[in-house]
Amino acid sequence: MNFLILKYFKTVATELNITHAAQKLYISQQALSAHMRNLENELGVKLFNRTPRLSLTDAGRCLLEATEGYDRLTNVLNDKLNDIRNHERGELRIGLSFTRGQFILPSVLPLYAQSHPQVHIRIYEEPSNSLMERLLHGEIDFWVTAENPDIEGIHKEQLFKESFFLVVPEKIINIDEDFKLEDIINCPFVLLNPGNRSRDLFDNAVRARKLTPNIILETDNSQTAFALAQKEMAITVYSDMFLRNYSGKLNPRVKIIPLGKYIPSDILHVYYTEECKSSGYKQSFLKSLHKAFA
């Protein structure tokens, strides 16, 4: 049984006249009669009494009641398909690191979700290699990353340049922008765990100078590292992406010093699939990203 046959049946059951029903459905009377006989054969029950006049059997009345549910189903389905055709409904799948997600998503998603209430948003916070695989297999729509690979068939756009800073309590060491890494290398550091972008860039800088920092604590949370530096426990490395989203009061005894001469600016990119170019709500998310970090 298919939806079209149910539509035919409901029209005949409502009109109780094959001729009138056929006219409404724009098919021949013979074809409609054949459809009703085939439906009865398929269900194994008699749906109509045909003499002295057309009327519904108990089975026919039961099926007619069931078609009310069919109408609701088709209306809901048509509404959803229309939304998808008009790019108003669907699923948005975003991949990025946990650390970046803490700051990027709150800047973008609240307003986006408000203007796209029919879009279901799914977030994947995983390592870069895992997210690249998901993008290549069509499992995510957008990948926000500081990685910079060229991927055939995948579009890439620059979001913004990210600079890095030392967060230095004056009671540990008093330095200015002309400092040398050798000056601070024996001071206590609280750093993010290896694998985090800012940690890896800092490691590269000290390794190039054959230095080993005095790391007293490692964490997965950049906010924890920054808070400990603000409490004057240790030096940490922080990015301007996180600084621009920091809403707390800065400790005046803690300096924030650019690391540009040791760590070059990182460029954050967004990668996305070809399908995103033809989807209204996905293009809207891309515009929201650019607007948030303009």
Inter-residue contact 206 to 181 (CB < 8 Å): yes
The average pLDDT across 111-137 equals 90
87: left (phi over 0), alpha (psi -120 to 50) or beta: left
Q: Read off the pLDDT of residues 5-51 as tens digits, 9 standing for 90 and up.
A: 888 999 999 999 999 999 999 999 999 999 999 999 999 999 999 88
**CATH number, domain 164-264:** 3.40.190.290
In what helix (H) or strand (E) does residue 168 lie, and over which residues does it extend? strand 164-169
Tokens 């078609």 correspond to what residue?
Answer: 67
For residues 137 and 156, give the distance between their C-alpha atoms in angstroms, rounded to a whole number: 16
Of 67-71, 252-256, 284-288, least confident by mean pLDDT is 67-71
Q: Which of 95-99, 133-137, 173-177, 185-189 has the lowest mean pLDDT?
A: 95-99
User: Given this chain, do its domains 90-161+267-292 and 164-264 carry the same CATH topology?
Assistant: yes
Pair 238, 199: CB distance under 8 Å:
no
Which pLDDT does position 264 carry in this prediction? 87
The C-alpha torsion from 164 through 167 and 168 to 169, rounded to 10°, is 170
What's the longest Cα–Cα distance across the chain? 106
Mean pLDDT of the chain: 88
Residues 6 or more apart in contact with residue 151 via CB below 8 angstroms: 132, 135, 136, 271
Q: Name the strand (E) or helix (H) holding 126.
A: none
**Average pLDDT rounded to a whole number, residues 134-146:** 91
Which residue type occupies 55? Answer: S
3-state class (DSSP) for residue 200: helix
Q: Which CATH class is domain 90-161+267-292?
A: alpha beta
pLDDT at 157 over 80: yes
**Strand partners for 144:** 270
The residue ranges of every structural domain in the chain are 3-84, 90-161+267-292, 164-264
Task: Give me the pLDDT at residue 138, please.
Answer: 87
The reported pLDDT for the residue numbered 80 is 59
Beta bridge pairs of residue 92: 121
Span 3-84: which CATH code?
1.10.10.10
Give per-residue pLDDT as tens, 67-106: 877 766 666 666 556 555 555 678 899 999 887 887 888 8
Identify residue 240 by its one-letter amino acid code: D
